[in-house]
Amino acid sequence: MSRTFPTERTVILTGAASPRGIGRATAFHLAELGWNVGIIDVDGEAAAQTAAELAEAHGVRAVGVGANVADREQAVAAVDALEAQLPQIVAVVNFAGVSSPVPYLEVTPEEWHRVESINLDGVHWITQRVARTLAGNGVGRIVGISSVSAQRGGGTFSKTPYSASKAGVIGLMRSIARELGPLGVTANVISPGPIDTDIMGGTLTEERKTAMAADGVLSRIGTPTDIAAAVAYLISEDAGFVTGQTLNVDGGLYMH
């Protein structure tokens, strides 16, 4: 069984159709590097449109499908559909997520379930389905997206349900790394700090950017391209000896 990458390889990205999101920026960055791209987004129309733009811009094969990743049947069906139309799946990156600024003492059962089901259950269902293919082929890369909020206990736009779900992603990926390592599959986490996207509660003003940057050691907040570059490394063939790790891309906000 070969542990090397196939010439034609596909990466699946969840939550990659938002106009100003990290996932979309990563999709274009990876397509530029020659990856074929499968997009799963709750907005199926936007996923298909993004895929069409990727194919036109970079000449790769790209397909977009709609699914609520928190629903196991939808998640599995989405991966099935992408696998049927694209070259060998080699990597999956879980961007799909929701924020939650609700104070802890006001968190309802509905809010808790909404956040955990998308941010943790959804990562699990997509990853498990893709992992069956990766393990079967003997080569693969899995990336979960956590948050500095999980490591510092909040302190960003989102609060406790979000921090708990993103901490869960770290534990999930470490355990997957241990179980699937012997099968040629790595699993890692990227933990962004404040990034200039709309998940922070709307488009950021220059004042908010400055305030957010003040906690770190660099004089700016992150951009989607900062995260895209980190993803490109972790899913690359060269990163085959890196697994079970959390890569903080946060301007020095959290050092560990």
Per-residue pLDDT in tens (0 to 9) along the chain, 256 residues: 558 999 999 999 999 998 889 999 999 999 999 999 999 999 999 999 999 999 999 999 999 999 999 999 999 999 999 999 999 999 999 999 999 999 999 999 999 999 999 999 999 999 999 999 999 999 999 999 999 999 998 877 889 999 999 999 999 999 999 999 999 999 999 999 988 876 555 555 666 666 666 667 888 889 999 999 999 999 999 999 999 999 999 999 999 8
The length of the chain in residues reads: 256
Choosing from 104, 162, 233, 254, the catalytic residue is: 162
Q: Could you tell me the CA-to-CA distances from 24 to 7, 29, 101, 223 in Å, in that order?
A: 23, 9, 23, 12
Give all strands (DSSP E) within the chain, no chain letters: 10-14, 36-41, 62-66, 89-94, 140-145, 185-192, 246-249
Question: The whole model's pTM is what?
Answer: 0.94
- Contact (CB, 8 A) for 141 and 95: no
Q: In this structure, what token pair is assigned to residue 140?
A: 């693969």
196 φ, ψ to 5°? Answer: -75, 80
Q: Any catalytic annotation for residue 104?
A: no
Instruction: Give residue 144's identity as a one-letter amino acid code.
Output: G
Q: Identify the CATH number of the domain defined by range 10-249.
A: 3.40.50.720
